[in-house]
Amino acid sequence: MRSHLVQRNLRQDPPLALRGEGIFLHDSNGKTIIDGSGGAAVACLGHGHPRVLDAMRAQMDQLTYAHTALYSCESAEALADLVLEGEPGGLTQLYLCSSGSEAMEAALKLSRQYFWEIGQPNRQKYIARRQSYHGNTLGALAAGGNAMRKAIYQPILSDAFSHVAPCYAYRDRGPAESDADYVARLAAELEAEFQRLGPDTVIAFIAEPVVGATLGCVTALPGYFQAMRAVCDRHGALLILDEVMCGMGRTGTMHAWEQEGVTPDIQVVAKGLGGGYQPIGGILANHRVMDALRDGSGAFMHGHTYQAHPMAAAAALAVQRVIREEGLLANIQAMGALLEQRLVERLGNHRHVGDIRGRGLFWAAEFVKDRGSKAPFDPALKLNDRIKRAAYDNGLACYPMAGTIDGRLGDHVLLAPPYIATAQDIDSIVARFGDAVDTALAGLP
Ligand code: PLP
pLDDT for 68-114, tens place per residue?
999 999 999 999 999 999 999 999 999 999 999 999 999 999 999 99
Question: What pLDDT band is residue 402 in, cutting at 50, 70 and 90?
Answer: confident
Question: What pLDDT band is residue 31 in, cutting at 50, 70 and 90?
Answer: very high
| Mean pLDDT (the chain, rounded) | 96
Q: Is 244 in the pocket of ligand 1 (CB under 6 A)?
A: yes
Residues linked to residue 366 through DSSP beta bridges, in sequence order: 355, 412
Q: Is 144 in the pocket of ligand 1 (CB under 6 A)?
A: no
**Cβ within 8 Å of residue 268, ≥6 positions away:** 100, 103, 104, 107, 134, 240, 241, 242, 243, 244, 247, 281, 282, 283
Q: Is 146 in the pocket of ligand 1 (CB under 6 A)?
A: no
Question: What pLDDT band is residue 147 in, cutting at 50, 70 and 90?
Answer: confident
Task: State the distance from the centre of ligand 1 to the C-alpha of 407, rounded, in angstroms.
Answer: 20
Residue 171 has pLDDT above 70, yes or no: yes
Tens of pLDDT, residues 302-346: 999 999 999 999 999 999 999 999 999 999 999 999 999 999 999
The answer to whether 440 touches 384, Cβ cutoff 8 Å, is no
The answer to whether 20 touches 47, Cβ cutoff 8 Å, is yes
Tens of pLDDT, residues 226-265: 999 999 999 999 999 999 999 999 999 999 999 999 999 9
Closest CA to 126 of 103, 158, 96: 158
The answer to whether 149 touches 133, Cβ cutoff 8 Å, is yes
Separation CA 56–CA 317 (nearest Å): 10
Q: Phi-psi bin for 255: left (phi > 0), alpha (psi -120 to 50), beta?
A: beta
Report the pLDDT averaged over residues 2-19. Answer: 93
pLDDT for 215 equals 87
Task: State the distance from the centre of ligand 1 to the C-alpha of 99, rounded, in angstroms.
Answer: 8
Q: Is 376 in the pocket of ligand 1 (CB under 6 A)?
A: no
Strands (DSSP E) along 312-407, which ranges? 353-359, 362-367, 396-397, 399-405
Separation CA 421–CA 335 (nearest Å): 7
Q: Is 208 in the pocket of ligand 1 (CB under 6 A)?
A: yes
Task: State the distance from the centre of ligand 1 to the C-alpha of 444, rounded, in angstroms.
Answer: 31
Question: What pLDDT band is residue 408 in, cutting at 50, 70 and 90?
Answer: low
pTM given for the model: 0.98
Task: State the distance from the centre of ligand 1 to the C-alpha of 271, rounded, in angstroms.
Answer: 8
Which of 99, 134, 251 gets mutated to test ligand 1 (max ligand atoms within 8 A of its CB)?
Answer: 134
Separation CA 28–CA 189 (nearest Å): 51
Question: What pLDDT band is residue 405 in, cutting at 50, 70 and 90?
Answer: low
Residue 213 has pLDDT above 90, yes or no: no
Tens of pLDDT, residues 346-379: 999 999 999 999 999 999 999 999 999 999 999 8
Closest CA to 99 of 274, 290, 318, 315: 274
Q: Report the percentage of the chain scoring pLDDT > 90.
A: 93
Separation CA 196–CA 286 (nearest Å): 28
Q: The dihedral of CA 129, 130, 134, 136: what is its sign?
A: positive
Question: What pLDDT band is residue 404 in, cutting at 50, 70 and 90?
Answer: low
Which of 244, 399, 412 gets mutated to test ligand 1 (max ligand atoms within 8 A of its CB)?
Answer: 244
Fill in the amino acid letter for 232: C
Q: Is 212 in the pocket of ligand 1 (CB under 6 A)?
A: yes
